[in-house]
Amino acid sequence: MLVGVKSNDKKKLKRRLIRFAGSILSLAVLTYIAVSLITGSHTGFTRIFGIFSSGGNVELADEYAFDVGRNRVFADMDGSIAAAGTQGIQVLDGRGSEQLRDPFRMATPVIDARGGHAIAFDLGGTSARIFNKTEILASLETEGAIVSASVNRNGWVAVCTQASGAHRGVVTAYNNKGEAVYVVRLATGYVLSSVLSPDNRALAILNMTEVGSRITYYNLNSEIVDRAFDMPSKLILDLQYLQSGEVFAITTESLIVVGKDNESVEVLGYGGRRLGGYAQSDDYIVLYLLDYNVGHSGQLVTIGENKSVRGAIMIDREILSMSSGSEALAVLKSDGLALYSSALDEILTDAPTGSAAGATGVLVLGSGRTLLVSDHFAAAVNY
């Protein structure tokens, strides 16, 4: 699954730790963008990756006509394609037929989807839509600016917004009908993101405090904090709930798992490398670890929900975008497209993109098809 193909900025941007800021929104947005610069997720920035191989050609097959304005971002909706842009959202099925369209304005469109549910929102704005393939489930106009949002495996949505007064942020959980079912108002720390558990019973909120990162857990049947996990002087970038109830936490130094007993275990240390990027699927995480001061040289590693390494390969080339799905891991490089299994076995090696040379993103669909996308086109590829 892709947490969006977030395309369209080819600049190489250097990441740095977020410094504490006076504005709740500016801090949250800056941290959100910092994550996006690494992952390519949730904004118009591309991922910064690298990999190597060489092989045959890819040809464009079906082209999909989207009319959602500029700054387009894309996501898989269980075989359908959702797009969000400055003028709204649109969903097309695998044949290119329109299933849904809703016009509304967004300055910085962001999309997240899992299965047949998605949310599109204006980062730093107040407008959002929760939808399935054919229906708008909720049209949101939030009080505070939207910082982030996520969808779990059952179509439940968590939305983080800026707050004023005594609170540092608000997190609202919505069920798969688009109904608000739980609200948390944080009095300490700056809310960055949140994820709902696979069983829809728990909410994990990532926020930044004066001393580091904190994950705060809530049971949706209770209004009080269930527990909190602190990492002083560390920056956690993202969270992923596992079926076991544990949580993967991607940090700038390692991948850790936080258990239900609130104890953490390092799953993979970066071993003197720096995190160049990552992508998340329902049952595995992909990490790109860059060697310091050696161009794009480094290692690509996949880790499964069982907390074991599935595969690892050395890499030495820049990657513009990456999309992970159950069928394949697609990697778009400046000189071609490569496909891998989740164990990083080669399926397609460095195939030139030909007439799609302007592609800035790649998207793996639930149907197994692979799309190349940009701000001007979206097309399936044959290989």
Instruction: Determine the pLDDT at residue 15.
Output: 35
Instruction: Determine the pLDDT at residue 326.
Output: 83
Residue-wise pLDDT for 345-375, tens only, equals: 999 877 766 656 678 899 999 888 899 998 8
CATH number of 5-382: 2.130.10.10
Instruction: Determine the pLDDT at residue 104.
Output: 97
> Is 330 in contact with 351 (CB distance < 8 Å)?
no
CA separation for the pair 37, 278 (Å, rounded): 10
Instruction: Determine the pLDDT at residue 166.
Output: 53
Instruction: Determine the pLDDT at residue 23.
Output: 43
Instruction: Determine the pLDDT at residue 57.
Output: 63
Q: Which residues contact 186 (CB under 8 A, 6 or more apart)?
A: 163, 167, 168, 169, 170, 171, 205, 207, 216
Task: Identify the CA nearest to 80 among candidates 60, 61, 69, 96.
Answer: 96
> Is 237 in contact with 250 (CB distance < 8 Å)?
yes
Instruction: Determine the pLDDT at residue 62.
Output: 81
Question: What pTM did the predictor assign?
Answer: 0.84
Q: Which residues of the chain have pLDDT under 50?
A: 1-25, 27-29, 33-34, 37-55
Instruction: Determine the pLDDT at residue 17.
Output: 33
Instruction: Determine the pLDDT at residue 260.
Output: 92
> Is 326 in contact with 1 (CB distance < 8 Å)?
yes
Task: Identify the CA nearest to 213 among candidates 196, 247, 189, 195.
Answer: 189
The residues that bridge with 232 in the sheet, in sequence order, are 212
Tokens of 36: 């996006």
Residue-wise pLDDT for 225-258, tens only, equals: 999 999 998 999 999 999 999 999 999 999 999 9
> Is 52 in contact with 315 (CB distance < 8 Å)?
yes
> Is 41 in contact with 109 (CB distance < 8 Å)?
no
